[in-house]
Every structure is written in structure tokens, then in C-alpha cells.
Amino acid sequence: MRGIPILIILLSLIISLMGCSSNVQGSMKDYKNSDVAAIVGDKEITIGDLRFLYSDDDVLNNIEGIVKFELMLQEAKKMNLDISEDKAVRKEIMLSLPLEEGEVRMQEFITSQADKLGMEKEEYYKKYAEIRSEQDSYVNAYIQEMVGADGYDEENLKEFDKKANDFLNDLVKKHEKEIKILIK
């Protein structure tokens, strides 16, 4: 049962990451899918990449959190962490949920993003599940490796969040010269 508290802790961290908002002016209508939104290391993140995974409002309001997320992904991949089993389980869980019976907000998101990208809902969701399960597995493995989740549970979640966020802020400072946010 230790996996449940760790899952809750890691979900909390991911949610808090997306809460890192910036004062972005304008709207996503001002950008084409091919426009580069940010550069993290040697990876260009395009508006299309972001639009595939996030609603337009989430991109504009959370670009700094998205950059931190990408930085963590890159660091985790450099460590050659084995995520194969976790990724397979996450993807299977996501794909086992009937598209028509999910949360209303998620249904609206899937329909909206598939339309914006010119894809069928099912095609979009399969690719979305593949990408998100890989990302979430890497972030999970990376945070466990670097911060640890032992000794934390629902009761001291704020302590874990602070430790993880402090670690991530230090990581960003360490790599700040490799990060460029181009959306203004």
C-alpha cells in the first residue's frame, strides 16, 4: 500500500508544478503551432507541442511550470531510469477508461485538442496517453530518485512539496542559462 501515498505525493507535485504561473500577455491565437515557445537545453518546445498536451489557457498561464517539467524530463532521461513497467501500467490505465464516460472537463479537452490538431478523438487520445504516461513515469522516477518519497504520506504532504519545489527551483537555477521562454 506504500504506492498510494507516493502516488498522491507525486500527483501533488505535478499539480504544484503546473501552478507556477507567469505573466504572459496575449493569447494562443497569436501563435502558430510551429512557433517556438521555449527552449530547454537543446530542445525547442513548439506551440504545437504544448497545444497537444495542454489547453491554451494552461499553456499561457503555466509556461514556467511547463519548462520545469521539461527540464525534469531531460534530467531523468540522462539518468537512464527504467520506466518501462510504470509507463506501461499508466498507459494501460489511461487507455482503459472509456472516452465517452470520463470527467466532463477531460472530455472537452480531448475534443478541443483533437479538433485544433485535425485528429480524430481516439487517435489524439492514444498519442496523448503515450506521451503523458512516459512523461509522468519519468517525473515519478526522477523525483523519487532525487528527492525521495520515503517517510512522506498524506499527512506531511506540504513538507514534501516544499522539499521537492526547493529542489526544482535549484535545478532551474543550475540550468538557467539553458532555458529561454519565448512566449510573451
Q: Please, which pLDDT band fits residue 16 given cuts at 50, 70 and 90?
A: very low
Its pTM stands at 0.76
pLDDT digits (tens, 9 = 90+) for 87-111: 999 999 888 877 666 677 888 888 8
Transcribe 50-96 into DSSP letters.
Answer: HHHHS-HHHHHH-HHHHHHHHHHHHHHHHTT---HHHHHHHHHHHHH
pLDDT at 49 over 60: yes
Other Cβ atoms within 10 Å of 125 Cβ, number: 22
Residues in the chain: 184
For the chain, what is the mean pLDDT? 81
Cβ within 8 Å of residue 179, ≥6 positions away: 38, 39, 40, 67, 71, 172
- Which one has a higher pLDDT value, 159 or 49? 49
CA-to-CA separations, 147 to 2, 27, 66, 132, in angstroms, rounded = 16, 36, 19, 21
**Hey, what amino acid is at 43?**
K
Q: Please, which pLDDT band fits residue 181 given cuts at 50, 70 and 90?
A: very high
Other Cβ atoms within 10 Å of 30 Cβ, number: 12
